[in-house]
């Protein structure tokens, strides 16, 4: 099992590295010209941005005011906190299932916080890299990988009784993939001019609020059983059926997204 986990971690990091490396060349060549010192006509920049988003499905739930560019930085931050939270609750079912799978992996608080911290650090990194235009990973690769991470974590919950030393590193690698997914949504919003960092930080804070809300709700629902029954009964009654359902959903999504891509 240790060798298998080492192979999985190495493979995940390798895939993430390949996506990061290959996506640099895929970024739009006009991005630098549309900056403050680029000198390109603003109307042409807007047209190019629309072309970049032509293949994306616009978020109908995002507030129309997101495209207003004259708002104060603090107001922009607050707006994107709300958008980031809404991306998880109720819109991000795949991310909700991943967080729930992490919750089901242990009954102890410290291992859970370790996994959540690793996941947060990793997805914050790739969210920033993609949003800043440093990399541009293709959605056709990222989305199936996100679904596969859900399936893996859920299935491992059923096979492994206690969290191993490898689990945080696996979650770290998976967080890199999820961050690319967050960035794909973030890029469709239309960013306020000159307030990129306010929007990015606000969005990331909102994502964390959504994730913590999922964990809090799960803890409240599971509390009556979590510390009052034996570990064996808890696994049979809670971990196995819920992880099985999450894992099956992740596998179905993986196949669907591969075929759709």
pLDDT tens-digit profile of 14-46? 444 444 434 433 344 445 445 555 555 565 556
Residue 19, domain extent: 2-51+74-260
Of the candidates 10, 16, 17, the one whose C-alpha atom is nearest the C-alpha of residue 166 is: 10
Residue 43 included in any domain:
yes
Residue 26 included in any domain:
yes
Residue 69 included in any domain:
no
Residue 67 included in any domain:
no
Q: What angle in degrees, to the nearest 10, is found between the helix axes of 109-131 and 93-104?
A: 150
Residue 124 included in any domain:
yes
Q: Indicate the pTM of the whole model.
A: 0.74
Residue 208 included in any domain:
yes
Mean pLDDT to the nearest integer, 144-158: 97
pLDDT in the model for residue 192: 72
Q: What H or E segment, with its residue span, contains residue 119?
A: helix 109-131
Residue 152 included in any domain:
yes
Residue 64 included in any domain:
no
- Label residue 133 left, alpha or beta by phi (over 0 means left) and psi (-120 to 50 means alpha): left
How many structural domains is the chain composed of?
Answer: 1
């Amino acid at each position: 099992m240790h060798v298998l986990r080492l192979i999985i971690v190495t493979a995940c990091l390798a895939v993430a590295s390949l996506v990061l490396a290959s996506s640099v060349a895929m970024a739009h060549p006009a991005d630098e010209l549309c900056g403050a010192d680029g000198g390109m006509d603003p109307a042409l920049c807007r047209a190019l941005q629309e072309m970049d988003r032509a293949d994306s499905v616009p978020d109908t739930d995002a507030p129309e005011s997101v495209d207003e560019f004259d708002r104060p930085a603090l107001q922009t931050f607050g707006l994107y906190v709300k958008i980031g939270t809404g991306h998880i609750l109720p819109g991000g079912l795949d991310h909700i299932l991943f967080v729930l799978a992490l919750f089901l992996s242990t009954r102890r608080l410290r291992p859970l916080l370790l996994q959540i911290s690793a996941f947060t650090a990793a997805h914050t990194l790739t969210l920033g890299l993609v949003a800043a235009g440093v990399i541009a990973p293709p959605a056709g690769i990222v989305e199936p990988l996100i679904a596969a991470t859900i399936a893996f974590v859920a299935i491992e919950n059923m096979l492994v009784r206690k969290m191993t030393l490898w689990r945080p590193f696996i979650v770290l690698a998976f967080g890199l993939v999820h961050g690319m997914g967050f960035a794909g949504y973030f890029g469709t919003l239309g960013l306020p001019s000159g307030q990129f960092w306010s929007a990015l930080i606000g969005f990331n804070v909102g994502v964390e609020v959504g994730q913590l809300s999922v964990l809090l709700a799960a803890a409240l629902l599971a509390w009556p059983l979590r510390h009052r029954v034996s570990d064996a009964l808890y696994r049979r009654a809670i971990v196995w059926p819920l992880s099985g359902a999450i894992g099956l959903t992740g596998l179905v999504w993986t196949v669907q997204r591969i075929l759709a891509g």
